[in-house]
Amino acid sequence: MTKRIELTIIEENISAVAELLEEEAPLTCTALWQALEIPIVHKGIHAMWTGCEIMVEIPSENYRFDPLTVPLENATIYPLPGDLMWAYFPDHVERGFPRAIWDFIIMYGPDSNVNCALGTLPANVWAHITENLPSFASGCRSLLVEGMKTFRICRLE
């Protein structure tokens, strides 16, 4: 049976369901499933350079794996609407990151690419939203005007 997760924008009371892509990204799926042993609850922010992207930094209480053991797999710089992606940015002060970033990425619309101020950075596509993407995307779009909102991401079992 395919593993699934639920993503909720708390302030909007809008949820979507995503299915893990275990065949395409087995190590990433295993790692993120471990991270979701407890739900991720954290503020999401709209990306500035990459298009229809929400970035939710994974909080330290969800660090359940070594990010250096997750290789690039099923990686792209041209994600599709509904793709969930994973990227890890080590502590590189010279690149604008004063600490490591565990980035849970939600691509909610078209015309997106993973290009940023740091250059082109491929990220692993490890899950895809299969239920309620249009409403969820509308909620994600509201972050452009209204600012950060709280996301809850949890396993569906």
In this predicted model, what pLDDT tens digit does every residue of 55-88 receive, in sequence order? 999 999 999 999 999 999 999 888 899 999 999 8
Handedness of CA 46, 137, 32, 111 (dihedral sign): negative
> For residues 143, 59, 73 and 129, what is the CA-based torsion angle, rounded to 10 degrees?
-40
In this prediction, the residues of the chain whose per-residue pLDDT falls under 50 are: 117-118
What's the confidence (pLDDT) of residue 112? Answer: 60
Residue 150: both structure tokens together: 């709280």
Strand (E) positions, 21-144? 40-46, 53-57, 75-76, 83-89, 101-107, 115-116, 119-120, 123-131
What's the confidence (pLDDT) of residue 120? Answer: 65
What's the confidence (pLDDT) of residue 73? Answer: 97
DSSP code of residue 29? H
- Using an 8 Å Cβ cutoff, are 101 and 59 in contact? no
- Using an 8 Å Cβ cutoff, are 113 and 77 in contact? yes
Residues 6 or more apart in contact with residue 86 via CB below 8 angstroms: 28, 31, 32, 70, 103, 104, 105, 123, 124, 126
Segments making up each domain of the chain, as ranges: 4-156
Q: 131 pairs with which residues across the strands?
A: 17
What's the confidence (pLDDT) of residue 95? Answer: 57
Q: What is the CATH number of domain 4-156?
A: 2.40.100.20
Query: Quick one: how far is CA 13 from the chain centroid?
Result: 19
- pTM for the whole thing? 0.90
What's the confidence (pLDDT) of residue 138? Answer: 96
What's the confidence (pLDDT) of residue 133? Answer: 97
What's the confidence (pLDDT) of residue 140? Answer: 96
What's the confidence (pLDDT) of residue 89? Answer: 80
